[in-house]
Copies of this chain bind each other. A is one copy, B any other.
Amino acid sequence: MRQSQLFLPTLREVPADADVKSHQMLLRAGFIRQNAAGIYSFLPLGKKVLHKIENIVREEMNRAGSQEMMMPALQLADLWQESGRWYSYGPELMRLKDRHERDFALGATHEEVITSIIRDEVKSYKKLPLNLYQIQTKFRDEKRPRFGLLRGREFIMKDAYSFHDKQESLDETYEIMKDAYSAIFSRCGLNFRAVLADSGSIGGKDNHEFMVLSEIGEDLIAYSTDSDFAANIEMAPVLLQESASSENPKEIEKVDTKDAKTIEELSAFLNTPASKIIKSLLYLADGQPVLVLVRGDHEVNEIKLKNVLSAEEVSLASEEDAVKWLNTKPGSIGPVSVVKDVKIIADQAIPLMVNSVCGANEEGYHYINVNAENDFDIHQTEDLRFVVEGDRSPDGKGTIVFAKGIEVGHVFKLGKVYSEPMKASYLDENGKNQIMTMGCYGIGVSRTLAAVAEENNDEKGLIWPLALSPFDIHLIAVNSKNAEQLSLSEELYEKLKNEGYDCLYDDRNERAGVKFTDSDLIGVPIRVMVGKKAGEGIVEVKIRKNGELLEVPVSELSEVLKREYEKLA
């Protein structure tokens, strides 16, 4: 494509309202333009990259046995009423009436539509499993759209839905989808993790988010340095880190700790590491008192606590409650001599502690040389704390580190959440009516584009991975007014096209500086510059990623490009 004919409006200035790199760069490099808050147009270069991502998604989904289809954006409200989401989805669901005053939703997601199609068409276990996907524009009226394409109100998503007779069939498809997603994001050149996520109110155990590791991520994830373990920080299990101490238990002793109340103050006052102090917190779990013990250098993970207690709700007890159940105020709470009505639940690290410190349930006093069993009871031992950086990975391989993540994909075992209320049933081998089991699998296609841009840029502009670059080569006639340079450029343009490269050719009557600045901004991986040595048949090849610059005789250009492409691939 000749750049003189390309619609590619680049900007020199950083747009004022673009708050993250990807947004700034995609605007500056002329890939996108905003039409309204959270609503964007993809200009020709943006559309080309989008197309490449879509093709990767399509290839991997097809390979995984998913079948492409296309559902409408306009969805009858009736379906959303059947699933109950017409009422529960809130203002994110855009709604409208047609000319006959019928209510419609604008597709934010398609569980209802696909379930209605499948329940009408599939009646027998023989037709299951089915895995169907579409790549389509979605609408969600975000309260605060931001970060450009990362959180928009109209965006492109790949959404897939699977239908099964048996749980094992869903489990199998779920793993296939996870593999397909890994293939997709790998091909997009992203540093990502499949992160175990909280299933929230929907329930169901298996639920992974595909997270691109990124400074600007809105979620905190814990992952292993040496394996593919990754989990949302709330979900990361803790592997018991240490074996029991060889120290001999001493006699318990009450000491006056003055005003020292926090772990920090106590650690300083007693000259003891936080890891030797028992942090005792009184919770109310569905109204019942529970004394929770974790090591002083750890934090209670209330999601874990809630799960192990099978409680609807857990919350820290008030000062009043502490006085009521333990006869003391928070700051001096401890597990020694606690009445039987208060359940004591300890993190798995607690039984291993020897001669540790804890509150004496008496203001201003703590015990030292406290030992479980000898000095206090534990009713239940569990993994109760948040993972911390430096922990061993729960799968035993490597060390836990933290990172922020941008969610680009999500796989979810829906179970019967939609098929049950919408009555999607089939006849099993025995002719018995059964409710289908479902999975759903989403990829933010336009968000993936932004995530790639976010992770691949420098101060000069974008740096596209080969598989997603809008062009293979950026050919630049350095001085188009120079006949020698222009003629060699034209010749090379034809030659490169014939060799199968998708070539952007800067044939504009612009200064070299303008051309180079634009080229850096656009970020095509390899640049060929036809400049002053055109007469000698020499051009320059520049690698966008590392700035490497090669002088190449025209006769060797094909070979050099081939080699450099192999390096980048």
Residues of A bordering B, CB below 8 Å: 5-7, 9, 33, 35-36, 39-44, 46-48, 50-51, 65, 67-76, 91-92, 94-96, 98-99, 102, 104, 106, 113, 116-117, 120-122, 130, 132, 134, 137, 139, 141, 143, 153-154
Contact = CB atoms under 8 A, between A and B. Distances in A.
B69 A44 contact: yes
A47 to B, nearest CB: 5
Given A94-B98, A96-B96, A117-B41, A71 B7 contact: no
Closest 10 CB pairs of A and B: A96-B96, A9-B121, A42-B70, A44-B67, A91-B99, A41-B71, A39-B72, A99-B141, A36-B76, A72-B154
A418 to B, nearest CB: 16
Number of copies of this kind of chain in the complex: 2
Nearest to A116: B35
Nearest to A75: B35
Nearest to A94: B96
Given A75-B35, A113-B41, A117-B41, A69 B47 contact: yes
A154 B73 contact: yes
Nearest to A66: B44
Nearest to A508: B126
Nearest to A509: B126
A42 B9 CA distance: 36
A35 B143 contact: no
Contact of A6 (B9, B67, B92, B104): B67
Q: Taking each of A41, A51, A153, which has the highest tally of chain B beta carbons within 10 Å of its own beta carbon?
A: A41
Given A35-B71, A41-B113, 6 more contacts: A9-B122, A35-B113, A47-B70, A72-B137, A99-B143, A137-B137
* Most chain B CB neighbours (cut-off 10 Å) among A74, A92, A106: A74
A95 B95 CA distance: 10
Nearest to A129: B5
A69 B47 CA distance: 5
A296 to B, nearest CB: 46
A7 B122 CA distance: 9
A135 B473 CA distance: 26
A443 B122 CA distance: 34
Name the residue in A47, A95, A139, A154 with the highest tally of chain B Cβ atoms < 10 Å from its Cβ: A47
A73 B33 CA distance: 14
A368 B393 CA distance: 110
A68 B41 CA distance: 11
B96 A70 contact: no
Contact of A33 (B9, B48, B121): B121
Nearest to A68: B47
B47 A153 contact: no
A90 to B, nearest CB: 9
Contacts of A139: 73-74
Most buried by B among A7, A40, A43, A116: A7
Contact of A44 (B36, B68, B122): B68
A70 B65 CA distance: 28
B41 A72 contact: yes
A79 to B, nearest CB: 9
B7 A72 contact: no
Given A74-B153, A75-B35, A91-B99, A41 B69 contact: yes
A225 to B, nearest CB: 40
6 contacts: A35-B71, A35-B117, A41-B69, A42-B70, A48-B68, A94-B96
Given A72-B154, A96-B94, A137-B137, A7 B67 contact: yes
Contact of A7 (B6, B42, B48, B132): B132
Given A35-B113, A121-B33, A139-B74, A69 B98 contact: no
A96 to B, nearest CB: 4
A113 B42 CA distance: 12
Contacts of A94: 96, 98
Contacts of A68: 44, 47-48, 51
